[in-house]
Homo-oligomer: A and B are copies of this chain.
Amino acid sequence: MSIFEPKSKVEFQQKKMGNSEVDKKNNQVPEPTLRRLPGYLFFLQKIKEEGMLNISAPVIGKSLNCDPTQVVKDLSFTGIKGKPKVGYNTYELIHALEEFLGFNRTNEAFLVGAGNLGSALMAYQKHQSLGLKIIAAFDVDNNKVGQLIGGIYVLDYNKLFHLADRLNVKIGILTTPNHAAQDVAEDLVNCGIKAIWNFTSANLVLPAKIIVQNTSMSSYAAVLLRRLTDSE
């Protein structure tokens, strides 16, 4: 179904992880921790503007309404060292978080599907620090091709393969309709993309080495709606 003839056909199988992959996984920072780190970073940037040179885990915990022990543990993953009684150097901590999360690098990404959500992300990144930079967007719809959204041109989907070859982009953002998601994801993988931020509701089946971050709006809506029902 793909529009491309892949250079080297990747295998779309669900293989069990080998031992080296298990080892790598075991060393990984827990996902809940990673999700909390940007929150610390935003808070610290505010704190820094207020001129505070040091910050302790209990103060962060009080402000962000979370457990100080957890703050200490979360921050320890970045490799930063604090001083008893003093806390952490604000500047060093910000730097460590940015470094660890990759927010200080330029993480270039392609976006496929310049619909509502896709357009929003393109416009959004101009104002909000997402940690990544969309350098080109693609769509099959001729009405969308040529448009400039958030400073990014929407290109014809056929140009994806050629451009990927030249630019060596590693991240793909998937904001297509659900039915196109699997095919586009496979195209992205064949273009050399290593990580896919999937905003569709489709369950992507891709090689194990490809990193997939699912961010389906309806999942979060489901949690909200059910909790509301529970509370009634």
Contact = CB atoms under 8 A, between A and B. Distances in A.
Contact of A37 (B38, B217, B222): B222
A221 to B, nearest CB: 5
A225 interface: yes
Given A117-B120, A215-B220, A230-B24, A225 B39 contact: no
Interface residues of A, number: 66
The copy count of this chain in the complex is: 2
Contact of A102 (B102, B120, B123, B229): B229
A224 B35 contact: no
A19 interface: no
Interface in A48-65: 63-65
> Chain A: interface secondary structure?
helix
Contacts of A8: none
B131 A225 contact: yes
B228 A195 contact: yes
B197 A221 contact: yes
Interface in A167-191: 170-171, 178
Nearest to A107: B225
Nearest to A229: B102
A163 interface: no
A216 interface: yes
Interface of A: 14, 24, 27-29, 31, 34-39, 42-43, 63-65, 100-103, 107, 115-117, 119-121, 123-124, 127-132, 150, 170-171, 178, 194-195, 197, 201, 203, 205, 209, 211, 213, 215-231
